[in-house]
Structure 1
């Protein structure tokens, strides 16, 4: 039986933790995972940092800028420790920040990473002083998720892990919404949530059933409330509404989905047998159900294992 992708990444992370010169000896100790509650629980793991060294989960060359950017934009860290990142070395948010933070100030890295799959002639600032930003939600509540409340980037509303804006070789302005996956998989069916599902139907069904919507209405909307389809569905709705309203001055809005193709467990995260009518993997099903093929683009996560795209430290850690 082949070793799972997650197991391999845990082993790689544990080896990096013991060998990298970027950590102190105390930071190399096994440690329990600090969960969303903010408390460390369970047995110590070699792929977790001691809580007091959680900031070292961010590579040195991007650490200060990542922390400052997340603080300035009010972005919470997933299972963060003391307003900093998670202590889990397989955190996808941390991997995303380690890969993309330098692109905030260095647009050439954006071209190096994404220029092979989208037509980038020039990268534009998406926010003052930033060529790339994190946990993007758009300026307006286009999906009606906040109902007048203040939205928080990266929490309780549809966000994408990162975003950037560019001009194509034909002069078209496009907005790229970057969703980052690492070891995620969703093997189990969720528990029924009748009240929450009713709210979800009220928010998204009119967008789903719209004749010009981005997803073909071939199944009940409730089928999209299972992960990973729930996230794919909402982000495609967001991209469509951003494009429809001309957000950021963009003519087109694309979702760029970063995923290592070796993560086969993600592709098998299909909990409803009815969805398998459209394909044998998440990618096949999602490709079949989307209306416009070019508004969703796959990015092989291995493209970031290039120091010209990220850094030598990033390659050492994740290769």
Structure 2
């Protein structure tokens, strides 16, 4: 299974202006906070894999290792890279795993609803309930025909995974929200053709089921989605749809929330020629949303819009808010985050 081609900080050889700027900013941050780090392959923004925990916020370094070990979650191949989207996601969301109040405000802002009542997803490493889960692939269910010989799916590798998941309840009932996190990723070339037959076997019937997640369109087939980010977006929407059909965990609805920095404009490129030719739009996420039966089941937001209000409320004395604003300087581009 092609699980996470997007896990590499740079998915194409050429660099976008945003990515180049973030390399410089992350290097400056590491020079200030980790001057004695072991540089991996002499890169100023990579550390030796054995030191990857040093790229996490201090308050979650040991917790993250324990959590990943407890649930046998695989770290991404480039988890030792300062531009890793996995590390970025953990730094922003893992400190909120036991803060349902802050999390509720964040989810309400993301979905444009009243702050919902957050519900635990699973236990953290110390047995206390966590309101955010990470590298979620369906809670042990093979919703997308990805298991090999009936073996359990591994979180974080060899199956479709969302970077994070939350569960909450509104007046309409309980919901799951799958969260995909991006940092400096950008795409262009199609995914490797090897394996396309297996991809079609697994996913075609799910994607184009009459009651499936996509609108019926005789002009489209599965191979039209074999370009990132569309391939990943489709698989996650299929996962959400199948979880909803199964009423996983007793929920009535499962949506997908995509989060990325506002400055990463290269990520929004419409990479699939067939989707471009259909003239569905000029923004990849608007195009994908237009293909979903219930467009509001796919939500795209920026990190800045979601987190800056929470960081301001937390204040500069809050260790989590202070770390994020110092580490991810794009948060303050054009606006003061915390005072």
User: TM-score of the superposition, structure 1-length normalised?
Assistant: 0.86
In the alignment, does 2:28 pair up with 1:15? Answer: yes
**How far apart in 2 are the matches of 1:236 and 1:254?**
8
Preserved CA contact (<8 Å) 1:276 1:285 = no
Preserved CA contact (<8 Å) 2:186 2:266 = yes
Alignment of structure 1 residues 164-313 onto 2, 5 Å: 164-168=166-170, 170-193=171-194, 196-218=195-217, 219-277=220-278, 278-302=280-304, 303-305=306-308, 306-307=310-311, 308=313, 310-313=320-323
- Name which of 289, 308, 328 aligns with 1:318: 328
**What does residue 133 of structure 1 align with?**
133
**What does residue 53 of structure 1 align with?**
51
In the alignment, does 2:110 pair up with 1:117? Answer: yes
Preserved CA contact (<8 Å) 1:259 1:301 = yes
Preserved CA contact (<8 Å) 2:135 2:155 = yes
Unmatched 5+ stretches in structure 2:
1-14, 124-128, 315-319, 330-339
**How far apart in 1 are the matches of 2:70 and 2:18?**
34
**How far apart in 1 are the matches of 2:291 and 2:267?**
18
Cα RMSD (Å): 2.0
TM-aligned CA deviation for residue 105 of structure 1:
1.2
In the alignment, does 2:82 pair up with 1:89? Answer: yes
Preserved CA contact (<8 Å) 1:215 1:291 = yes
**How far apart in 2 are the matches of 1:251 and 1:260?**
30
Q: Deviations over 1:7-60 (max 9, x none)?
A: 11111111111223xx3x312x6x23xxxxxxxx4xx22212244532211110
TM-aligned CA deviation for residue 312 of structure 1:
1.1
Secondary structure, in 3 states, of the residue corresponding to 2:228? Answer: coil
**What does residue 35 of structure 1 align with?**
none
TM-aligned CA deviation for residue 206 of structure 1:
1.0
Preserved CA contact (<8 Å) 2:256 2:299 = yes
Preserved CA contact (<8 Å) 2:188 2:227 = no
**How far apart in 2 are the matches of 1:167 and 1:187?**
38
Unmatched 5+ stretches in structure 1:
33-40, 81-85
Secondary structure, in 3 states, of the residue corresponding to 2:287? Answer: helix
In the alignment, does 2:96 pair up with 1:98? Answer: no
TM-aligned CA deviation for residue 163 of structure 1:
0.5
Instruction: Check 1:291–1:131 CA distance in 2 against 1; reply closer, same or farther (3 A cut).
Output: same
Secondary structure, in 3 states, of the residue corresponding to 1:87? Answer: coil
**What does residue 37 of structure 1 align with?**
none
User: TM-score of the superposition, structure 2-length normalised?
Assistant: 0.81
**How far apart in 2 are the matches of 1:249 and 1:62?**
30
**How far apart in 1 are the matches of 2:23 and 2:307?**
19
Instruction: Check 1:191–1:70 CA distance in 2 against 1; reply closer, same or farther (3 A cut).
Output: closer
Secondary structure, in 3 states, of the residue corresponding to 1:117? Answer: helix
Secondary structure, in 3 states, of the residue corresponding to 1:243? Answer: helix
Preserved CA contact (<8 Å) 1:270 1:281 = no
